[in-house]
Amino acid sequence: MLNRRKMLQGVAAGAGAAFGLSLNPQRLLASSTGQSTPKRIIFFMQNQGFDPQTCIPEGMKQSGSLAKAKLPEPISALEPYKERLHIINGLHGMHTSPSHSAFFGALGGYRGSDGVPPSAPTIDYELSKILPQTLLPHLCIGMDSLGNMKSKPTIATLSASGAGQPIFMHSNPNHLYQMLYGGISSGDIRLQFEARSNLLDQVEQLAAAEGKSLSKLDHQRYGQYVQGFKDVNGLRDRLNTVADHLRKFAPKVDERYTHPEFETDWHDVNLELGISALTSGITNTLTIASGRGEIFGSWKGLGVEKQGHDLGHMGQPDNPIWIKIRQYNSRMLVRIMESLESVPEGSGTMMDHTLIVYTSNNADKQHTNGANWPVMLLGNLDGAFKTGCFTQLDGKRPINSLYTALLRAAGKNVDRFNMNEKMARKFDSGTGPLKEVLT
């Protein structure tokens, strides 16, 4: 089980790995100069499962082109983007023991049940190390009910930098805005940013002083915690050095931040902040969790009164509630693509060098064994991935093989991700990346 001490150690270690950069901040802006074409990958994880019938065109039983197919109603917003879409059915994640959620196992490709700490880095973090380094290599954003996002503005359920080292996702957009753009703001946002910065500075100094009296072993562990504060404070300072650049991308703060009517107001502005972090070049690896990797979630702003665990006990195909939720997700995917398409990069746009991975942290449904784990890919990561097609697999290759393909496309030559040979003999019929998705 995850306990508080382990979580704090993981937070510190994760922060240290993510923020411990010493390069020139201007060089760490992925798209600030236009002199290179850095790749970027976005993970969009929906809780409660991703039923394949909500994404596979009617009548498609075998792999083939999407050119003449009509997308199902839940993802109809993606119809104009079919040439950039790849629908994959038949991967599995049985070894992750998903049930209500695979938690860290969804992106880790290992067992990940409720309260089980991560046993290795997750794919989003691994990619953030391989892709060109940025000021904030990896950003996680979580969407939930207003009550949950307010009471628990950060939560760790999906991403990890290593064994026992969870990475927290941001849910309160006011806090996230302060972290990214507080240094270039004015009024109350600036005052809150300065107050929080001063507090973090004091906590860092106090923690460093108090830790000197500890035993050698505890001092080492405590040092990781102190380093976490140093790295967060260092990120703030580095962002300040590129303030003029960031002003061009900072979203406008409106009442959706301060007086949200529904949780979807915060979902929308969190998405805007994530997009701005990409388009400004602050980060090139973004993880978005609709439902925050758990069994809860709320979409009252869509007219959906049911929330939380009950949604997982409803069939998704032809269900008006799930059609609304999946359509909302699809519109979010379109907003990401259109935003990246609007930014020139190299000989094309940012979207030309981007891949979006849409799936669930819970395979195909609630209370699943993970035998089928549908995935949608959008974009081709500078030509590395096939698009405009549907691929039907036989359920013998794990989600790890897709993650291996992502690593290969990003430049790391590996044959497996988080799966040793003993596990592979039981859960993987092949070796190397999922070749069906690569060009």
Q: How many CA atoms lie within 13 A of 138 on its CB side?
A: 29
Radius of gyration of the chain (CA): 21
Q: Which residue has the tokens 């957009």?
A: 173
* Phi-psi region at 245: left, alpha or beta (left = phi > 0; alpha = psi -120 to 50): alpha
Q: Strand, helix or coil at 61?
A: coil
Element containing residue 9 per DSSP (H, E): helix 4-19
The boundaries of the domain holding residue 181 are 4-434
* pLDDT tens sequence for the chain (439 residues): 444 344 434 443 344 444 444 445 666 676 544 445 789 999 999 999 999 999 999 999 999 999 999 999 999 999 999 999 999 999 999 999 998 899 999 999 999 988 899 999 999 999 999 998 898 889 999 999 999 999 999 899 999 999 998 998 999 999 899 888 887 655 665 556 554 555 445 555 655 555 555 555 555 555 555 555 555 666 777 888 888 889 899 999 999 999 999 999 999 999 999 999 999 999 999 999 999 999 889 999 999 998 888 898 899 999 999 999 999 999 999 999 999 999 999 999 999 999 999 999 999 998 899 999 999 999 999 999 999 999 999 999 999 999 999 999 999 999 999 999 999 999 999 999 999 999 9
CB 201 within 8 A of CB 193: no
191 part of a folded domain:
yes
* Secondary structure (DSSP) of 382-407: TTTB--SEEEE--S-SBHHHHHHHHH
Question: Has this prediction a pTM greater than 0.85?
Answer: yes
Q: Strand, helix or coil at 66?
A: coil
Helices (H), 89-210: 104-108, 123-130, 146-151, 173-181, 187-210
Using alpha carbons, list the distances in angstroms from residue 249 to 33, 242, 278, 310, 313: 15, 12, 10, 38, 41
360 part of a folded domain:
yes
- CATH code for the domain of 419: 3.40.720
Rounded-to-integer distance, Cα 237 and Cα 47, Å:
35
430 part of a folded domain:
yes
> What is the pLDDT, as a whole number, of residue 4?
39
Beta-carbon contacts of residue 55 (< 8 Å; ≥ 6 apart): 71, 72, 74, 75, 87, 374, 376
Give me the number of domains the chain comprises.
Answer: 1
Rounded-to-integer distance, Cα 384 and Cα 378, Å:
12
313 part of a folded domain:
yes
439 part of a folded domain:
no
DSSP state of 24: -
333 part of a folded domain:
yes
> What is the pLDDT, as a whole number, of residue 206?
54
CB 101 within 8 A of CB 363: no
370 part of a folded domain:
yes
Rounded-to-integer distance, Cα 16 and Cα 269, Å:
27
Which residues are registered as beta bridge partners of 287? 43, 140
